[in-house]
Amino acid sequence: MQDLMDAPLDTLSPRSLEHIGFVASGTPEANAALEELTGVYGNVPLTEADVIVALGGDGLMLQTLHAYMGSGTPIYGMNRGSVGFLMNEYKVEGLRERLATAEVTTIHPLGMEVVDQTGHIHHAKAINEVSLLRQTSQAARLRISVDRRVRLEELICDGCLVATPAGSTAYNLSAHGPILPLQAPLLALTPISPFRPRRWRGALLPNRAKVDIDVLEPRKRPVSASADHAEIRNVARVSLWEESSIDGLIMFDGDHGWDERILTEMFRY
């Protein structure tokens, strides 16, 4: 799917755009938009839709992408929430024309495997990032390995995260991590409030890398791990990798695609 990134929808699939499924975040603003749009375009069950239109903010977009990851159904968001970096402008008129000319971008999630302090194994996927955070007033002590080689023997910090290009403008950016172009074959490894080594600012990793993070003193200094909205507490070890075989499809208006959004964010001050 790499060669199909940012292609118009009609080059990706011969399916028509007649069957649109709408989903709303549940806020009054999103519900009003849902009623208005379904009155004009109808609304099919999401499992039967050619394209899903998500009405809300970035949280709803992430939830919808998670639910339909690997299905081949593209998701087009319209902003009816507070944060809308992943969303397009809300308009009722000309929706089918906007969908027909929208750019479709392929994204891949991170896979996460967590071993907790009792030895139980948990799995989750993240579209934005996997973050490790201290659970108490005690700073976390972490050991970071990349492709089975220890790269940082000890990181004392509030936590750290590994972000995909899609998630590099979210929590990663707030933690002073780098913004990654969506097509970049990279992952951002970013510390959160590092105390020692104080000057370490993280690393850019190839997207084929496997990252293992061991929690040192896990009972004295407990740590949680979150993959987008899924959280596991009291973790002992976290392993991360890109799920390159799983595709999610997100749609942007051609005049304000992902590359333009990234450039705008890079030059924001």
Rounded to 10 degrees, the C-alpha dihedral 247/6/15/68 comes to 30
**101 close to 12: Cβ distance less than 8 angstroms:** no
Task: Find out whether 47 is annotated in a ligand binding site.
Answer: no
**4 close to 106: Cβ distance less than 8 angstroms:** yes
**How many angstroms separate the CA atoms of 178 and 176, rounded?**
7
Task: Find out whether 243 is annotated in a ligand binding site.
Answer: no
**How many angstroms separate the CA atoms of 100 and 207, rounded?**
31
**How many angstroms separate the CA atoms of 135 and 219, rounded?**
11
Cβ-Cβ contacts under 8 Å for 231 (sequence gap 6 or more): 224, 225
Task: Find out whether 100 is annotated in a ligand binding site.
Answer: no
State how far the alpha carbon of 26 is from the alpha carbons of 57, 58, 80, 109, 122, in Å.
11, 13, 10, 25, 30
Task: Find out whether 129 is annotated in a ligand binding site.
Answer: yes
State how far the alpha carbon of 88 is from the alpha carbons of 2, 8, 80, 153, in Å.
23, 16, 10, 43
Task: Find out whether 126 is annotated in a ligand binding site.
Answer: no
Rounded to 10 degrees, the C-alpha dihedral 9/15/19/24 comes to -40
Cβ-Cβ contacts under 8 Å for 119 (sequence gap 6 or more): none
Give the residue numbers annotated as catalytic, written as ranges.
58
Task: Find out whether 171 is annotated in a ligand binding site.
Answer: yes
Task: Find out whether 59 is annotated in a ligand binding site.
Answer: yes
Task: Find out whether 166 is annotated in a ligand binding site.
Answer: yes
Residues annotated within a binding site for NAD(+): 58-59, 128-129, 158, 166, 169-174
Residue stretches of the annotated binding site: 58-59, 128-129, 158, 166, 169-174
